[in-house]
Amino acid sequence: MRSSSLASRRGTVALFWLALSAMPAALAAEPIEKRIDAQREAIASTQAERDAAHEALSAQKKRLAFLEKKTAELDAERQQLEQRQQTLDQREARLREELAQRRAELERRLRAAYPLTRGSALQTLLGDGDALQAERDLHYLRNLIHPVQEARRALEAKRAELADNREAVARTERELAEAGDRLDAHYRDVRENLDEQQRLLARLGETLDEQQQSLKSMLERKRRLDREVAAARAASKRQAEQKPSASAPPRTAAVKTDGIPVTGSIKRRFGESLPQGKMRNEGVEFRAAAGTPVRAVTDGQVAYAGPLKGWGNLIMLRHRGDYLSLYAHCRSLAVSKGQKVSRGQTLCDSGVIDANREGLYVEVRRGNRPIDPSRWPAWKKAVGG
């Protein structure tokens, strides 16, 4: 809706400029040409912005593909770690089983050695008896205990190794989990950026379509107004070639001097920024109830009176000093082309500028350029500064 309003407003301002130029001394179409050029520049800017968004989207897709690849690699590492963990669990089970067997063997050997520590056997080992028998008993005892001690030391070493391995696995799991969290966060950011880039591209595409449609509308309005300008030029040339008659000046209708050009309030003055942004108002917009009489600012001759697409009913007056005044969006017309009018004479009734704005748009030109109406002496006299 905003873009449609922008196109309508731009078209309205551009057509006013062109219509005012439809007189012999002011027939150039420079304002609409400038707007067409500005619209083309806006389209080029939007296209460049869309191209940049395409590049950004491509970069985001590449980053997303890279993160997906890294995520797959991380998943593979996790699977390997799980397999390694299963292997370590199996190894620990075997070590525990071996430990139980070693303990049972130790108990068996200790029970076998226990008789040597009791009664006569102990006295033999500690006393001054048969030294050879004592030596044999000690040797036998060492042979019983030594393998068990070696097996136990080996088993404890394996258990320590297993504990180190399990700690390493736990550490690796933590690192992998942290890396996974970081990858997930990056993935979410990239996905959000990707979605935002896609939404931006969609918006830019819509804007570009609207701008191109607006340009097409401007060009069509220019062609229509060019036809009116050509007709006005031809008529003005024929009139200039005719000799003035000696007839008395025509009588004019009774006029009023108040409410010029319309009874109401000024909504937007010359040069004020339009809601669409960089464009500025090139006339004066009045807020007035539909049906309010619209009166001529000063004496003049009707150069155009009739409907014109984008303007509603349009009246264009030619004045002395190469001035033009234009009144747009009239509901009904009270004058016709070629008619002479006097200051304060009713030209039309005000109408509707757009769907929700009743009022009147007035533009003043000198030559082929719009001017601030307050610089026109006739305006100062009738309306004020």
Q: Is the peptide bond before 307 cis (omega within 30 degrees of 0)?
A: no
Q: Is residue 206 within 8 Å of residue 6, measured between CB atoms? A: no
What is the C-alpha separation between 110 and 87, in angstroms, rounded? 34
Average pLDDT estimate for 356-374: 85
Select from 278, 251, 255, 282 the least CA-distant residue to 268.
Answer: 282
Fold of 19-244: Helix Hairpins (1.10.287)
Strands 300-308 and 346-354, sheet pairing: unpaired
Residue ranges covered by each domain of the chain: 19-244, 255-385
Continuous segment of H or E residues that includes residue 313 = strand 312-319
Residue 371 is predicted with a pLDDT of 85
Tell me the per-residue pLDDT of 335-359, one tens digit each, with 9 for 90 and over: 999 999 999 999 999 999 877 789 9
What is the C-alpha separation between 319 and 177, in angstroms, rounded? 84
Residue 228 is predicted with a pLDDT of 60
In this structure, how many other beta carbons lie within 10 angstroms of the beta carbon of residue 147? 14
Residue 319, helix vs strand vs coil: strand
CA angle (101, 106, 151) in 5-degree steps: 70
Residue 273, helix vs strand vs coil: strand
What is the C-alpha separation between 283 and 274, in angstroms, rounded? 11
Residue 322, helix vs strand vs coil: coil
- Residues with Cβ < 8 Å from 294, sequence gap 6 or more? 261, 262, 315, 327, 330, 346, 347, 348, 349, 350, 360
Q: Which residue has the higher pLDDT, 329 or 117?
A: 329
* Domains 19-244 and 255-385 in one fold: no
Residue 298 is predicted with a pLDDT of 92
Fold of 255-385: Glucose Permease (Domain IIA) (2.70.70)
What is the C-alpha separation between 15 and 54, in angstroms, rounded? 36
Tell me the per-residue pLDDT of 233-249, one tens digit each, with 9 for 90 and over: 556 556 656 655 444 44
What is the C-alpha separation between 363 and 313, in angstroms, rounded? 14
Residue 1 is predicted with a pLDDT of 45
Check pLDDT > 50 for residue 24: no
Check pLDDT > 60 for residue 104: yes
Residue 327 is predicted with a pLDDT of 92
Q: How far is CA 337 from CA 130, 236, 239, in A?
A: 154, 12, 13
Residue 305, helix vs strand vs coil: strand
